[in-house]
Amino acid sequence: MSKVEELEKKAKTIRKGIIEAVYEAKSGHPGGSLSIADILTVLYFNELKIDENNPDWEERDRVILSKGHCSPALYSVLANRGFFKVEDLKTFRKIDSYLQGHPDKNKVPGVDMTTGSLGQGLSIANGIALMGKLQNKNYRVYAILGDGEIEEGQIWEATMTSNKYKLDNLCVIIDNNNLQIDGSIEEVMSSYPIDEKFKSFGFQIINIDGHNIQEIMDAFEVAKNVKNKPTCIIAKTIKGKGISFMENRVEWHGKAPTEEQYKIAMKELSNI
C-alpha cells in the first residue's frame, strides 16, 4: 500500500469518528469537519513533528484550529493518533465530557489552543510563530481557517502581522468549501478572490484540491521551503465530503444525523 493509499484509508477512519461523535451528541458541525478531514489526516499522520506520549513537547509543531466548531475532525485525528481513547469520541458534547463543542487546550491532550470565537486563530498563530522565531525554535505553526471566517476583519489585521515579521514558520490553510451557516460565501459576504487577497498581504500562495492527498502532501512540502514570508494554502473542498446526502448542503453546517442517516453515512464510509 502506497503512502497516499494509506492516508486515504486513514481519512475514511477519521470521517467515521466525526460521524460517530456528532451522532452520539445529537449536535455538532459535521459539514465543515468532513471538509477538513483529509487535510488534518495528512497533517497528523504524515507532516507534523509531534509526540502523542508528550503532548506538551516544546519542540512540537503546532496546529491552531481557528474554526473551532469543527472540533469533531480535530478530536477524531487526535484520538486515532493516540492522544486519547477513540471510544471517548462517543462522549462528545456530553455535559461531563472533556470533549466539548469547541476544543479546550486545558482539557484535551494534543490541542494547542482553545478556539471557537471566529477570526482570532490567525492572531494566536502569529504569536506562537513569532515566539518560535525569537527563541530560535524549529517548530512550524499551522492555522486552519474557514472561508466564511475570513470575513472577520481581525483576520486581515493579522495577515499584516504575519507579513511584517516574515513568519515563514507559519502556514495558513483556508478550508474553501464555499458554504457557511447562512449560505454560500458569495451570498453572505464574498471573500473572493481569496488567493489574490492573501498574496497582496505578502503570503506565498498555494492552490490545491483539499481532498487530493498527494496535492496536500506536496503543498506542505513546498510551504516548508518558503523563506522570509508566510504561506497560505487555499484548499478547495466540499462541505460534508464523503457522505452523499451531506455534500455541498448548507443545512449540514450544524446538525446531527438521525439514526437512519447515521447508518447510511457509516455504510458509505465503509464502502469507500
Exposed / middle / buried, residue 52 (Cβ in 10 Å: 0-12, 13-18, 19+): middle
Cell of 75: 478530536
What share of the chain has pLDDT > 70, as a percent?
100
Tell me the CATH number at 29: 3.40.50.970
Cell of 57: 513537547
Which parts of 135-226 fold into alpha helices (H)?
153-164, 185-189, 194-200, 213-224
Measured torsion, CA atoms of residues 55, 33, 26, 75, in degrees rounded to the nearest 10: -10
Band (pLDDT 50/70/90 cuts) for residue 272 is: low
Band (pLDDT 50/70/90 cuts) for residue 145 is: very high
What mean pLDDT is predicted for residues 255-266? 97
Band (pLDDT 50/70/90 cuts) for residue 1 is: confident
What is the number of structural domains in the chain?
Answer: 1
CA proximity to 241, closest of 174, 175, 166: 175
Q: What is the pTM of this model?
A: 0.97
What mean pLDDT is predicted for residues 164-191? 95
Can you give the residue range of the structural domain that contains 227? Answer: 3-271
What mean pLDDT is predicted for residues 121-147? 98
